[in-house]
Structure 1
Amino acid sequence: MLNFAIVGCGHIAKKHAEAIERAEGAALIAVCDTIPENMEFYRNTYNARIYTDYTEMLANKDIDVINICTPSGFHASLAVQGAEAKKHIVVEKPIALLLKDTNAMIDACEQNGVKLAVVHPNRFRPAMKKLKEVIESGKLGKISHVNATVRWNRNQAYYDQAPWRGTKGLDGGVLMNQAIHNLDLMLWMMGGIHEVFSMSATRIRDIEAEDVCTGLVKFTSGALGVIETATTIYPKNFEESLAIFGEKGSIKIGGPTAVNVEHWVVEGTTELETEELMKSIKADPFGKPGHQCIIEDMVEAVHENREPIVTGEDGKKALELVLALYESSENNQPVKMQPQEVLN
């Protein structure tokens, strides 16, 4: 049994608490927040010990893993402090807002012999796992291009809930906050990126960061990609999708939250096989909750002394892509990613 603690008891913390409660081999024993009333739910529901002082909580030797659920701008300092206290770290997306902070987190965990996992739970959805299997099998042949789309609604009331929402220093815009899951999936499926070009704007929401962004990418494989993300869609979430097109097939996973198989044509796969695949995913589109998968994987990673499925380096790659898109948009120039691998 691994004992977990949560720091930051805002909205997303409840998902973590539920995941820990459901996960085999995990228990929630403590929470930390600067506002005492935010923690009453966890004390009453999970009998968790409450702390207003993070350093004091880290001194609790019974805690094995810290789940960081604070605003993104605080992730790095809390993760480094937690690693130095010899606690394993599960951090919400994005891993951090700056590369130097991300590197500090990864280094601190390596130097202190603890695990670092980043919450990108969409990798565990049944349709995405099937798509990953098909790509790795080579059945699609050479990939020509990919389309990643997030057409969501986050109204002004959402941003007005807390002063940090939509800020560049603590939160970020649609790319950093909402679309980073989709970007992680694209990287997971397609590998490294050679070059990006982007345009972004703050068109409708009264926030500091962007509420709409479009981008083009060239992967190190030579394949191309199109990114379209927005929180301006009226009146509610419309679409989140990932579509991949190859010489021997084309697949689109879509719907409001990218769990539905909307198109699946692969050379050598019969219509009956495709129907059965689509039927099985439709019966359970979300599968086991992604946060629960992240928690259970952390438990197994500690016991087996291996890296988590979604590592700090994975989180860093998604952040690097977001920052490159921001740089391109700001300068109105293409940005080459490092390292620049040879294209096929």
Structure 2
Amino acid sequence: MSKIKVAVVGCGSISKHRHIPEYAANPNVQFVGFCDLILERAEHYAEQYGARAYTSYEEMLKAEKPDAVSVCTPNVLHAPYAIAAANAGAHVLVEKPMATNEADALAMIEAAKKNGVYLMVGHNQRLMPPHQKAKEILQTGKLGKVLSFRTSFGHPGPERWSIDGRDSWFFRKEEAIMGAMGDLGVHKSDLIRWLLDDEVAEVAAFVNTLHKEGTDVDDNATCVLRMKSGTIGTLVASWTYYKGGDNSTVLWCENGAMHIGTDPVDQVIVELRDGSVEKYQVGAMATNEKQVASGVIDAFVECIVTNTPPSISGEEGLRSLNVILAAFESQDSKKVIPLS
């Protein structure tokens, strides 16, 4: 079969560390275009991969007619760029959060449907080996019902990660709309929904800017979630874990507890009430310092090759986004917010 023609819009850190190298490693892919407002960034990859560089997204879509597009732009541009790609007949992989409000997310889903293309959201947490293993264990039923949980994602902030450091769009409210919650919190709302095979029913949250100076995007959030099944737990997102980043989840169940990502060696630990302990070494989770393949790109390409709709669909992305939007609403209203 002929290779899938891929274009990437936004040539910052997420493209550099995840999208571009993972596409490059996939034998089914051929790069046709790279687009960035800073032309040199696009040119750098265009030269490396024999593609063309653009500063205009519309121009790139028209000239290259890509089969698939990765949208790796600031949050506020996810929706317009994804919709433009879908309208140009391209499958779309969009970074999280898929959009900054529900209306935009619904418009993205509609555009993909109308044009007969796939829309996939880059929620990589459900593809990480420790999380896959944890779900597999939960599905055996040996832990019984999950009664409560805590899931947390924190690191020192995007200034260490973003290509623009402290001048990054991550800190500009008009481009980011949301901070740690859009960067990390939405990963965890997606993970907990998928892991527990359950939807969030209610959210109460504190979402604040505690320490990052000169920005009004949130750098810390602590949320209480009640799931439809009655399970309750906390979701934490932080950009101020200056020492000891965290991407861990603990589930307390009827028959024991499961610790995911709490130990540097054993990524999943199951402690049963009968005293027995099971430890699993299944491979580490990707971090900003230590990149391992996210699995997202391969899953997206596989969908296109096999003509199979993505499991991390626009609809899934919207459900995970709605949890985060409810957290902001709770912070503003000081109320518990129900999700429909």
Report the TM-score when normalising by structure 1: 0.88
Secondary structure of the residue that 1:34 maps to in structure 2? coil
Which of 49, 53, 76 aligns to 1:50? It is 53
Which of 293, 298, 301 aligns to 1:299? It is 301
Which of 49, 52, 66 aligns to 1:63? It is 66
Amino acid at match of 1:252: H
Amino acid at match of 1:110: K
What residue ranges of structure 2 are gaps of 5+ in the alignment?
none
2:337 matched residue in structure 1: 335
CA contact (8 A) 1:260 1:285 kept: no
Aligned residues: 328
Residues 166-193 of structure 1, C-alpha deviations (whole Å, 9 max, x = no match): 3333211111112221221111112201
Secondary structure of the residue that 1:299 maps to in structure 2? helix
Which of 102, 114, 117 aligns to 1:111? It is 114
1:164 matched residue in structure 2: 169
CA distance in structure 1 between the aligned counterparts of 2:218 and 2:300, rounded to whole angstroms: 33
CA contact (8 A) 1:25 1:296 kept: no
Which of 220, 234, 240 aligns to 2:247? It is 240
Range with bigger deviation, 141-150 or 21-30: 21-30
Q: 1:8 to 1:61 in 2, by over 3 A?
A: closer
CA contact (8 A) 1:127 1:259 kept: no
CA contact (8 A) 1:35 1:52 kept: yes
Which of 21, 45, 51 aligns to 2:24? It is 21
CA contact (8 A) 2:90 2:117 kept: yes
Note the aligned Cα RMSD (angstroms).
2.4
**Is residue 208 of structure 2 the alignment partner of residue 184 of structure 1?**
no
Secondary structure of the residue that 1:95 maps to in structure 2? coil
Secondary structure of the residue that 1:140 maps to in structure 2? coil
Secondary structure of the residue that 1:216 maps to in structure 2? strand
Amino acid at match of 2:157: R
CA distance in structure 2 between the aligned counterparts of 1:36 and 1:126, rounded to whole angstroms: 36
Report the TM-score when normalising by structure 2: 0.89
Amino acid at match of 2:167: A
What is the correspondence of 1:250-269 to structure 2 with a 5 Å cutoff?
250-255=257-262, 261=267, 263-266=269-272
CA contact (8 A) 1:6 1:67 kept: yes
1:128 matched residue in structure 2: 131
CA distance in structure 1 between the aligned counterparts of 2:28 and 2:117, rounded to whole angstroms: 18
**1:95 Cα deviation (Å)?**
0.3
Identity %: 29
Q: 1:81 to 1:57 in 2, by over 3 A?
A: same
1:342 matched residue in structure 2: none
**Is residue 192 of structure 2 the alignment partner of residue 174 of structure 1?**
no
CA distance in structure 1 between the aligned counterparts of 2:237 and 2:64, rounded to whole angstroms: 43
2:237 matched residue in structure 1: 229
Q: 1:255 to 1:24 in 2, by over 3 A?
A: farther
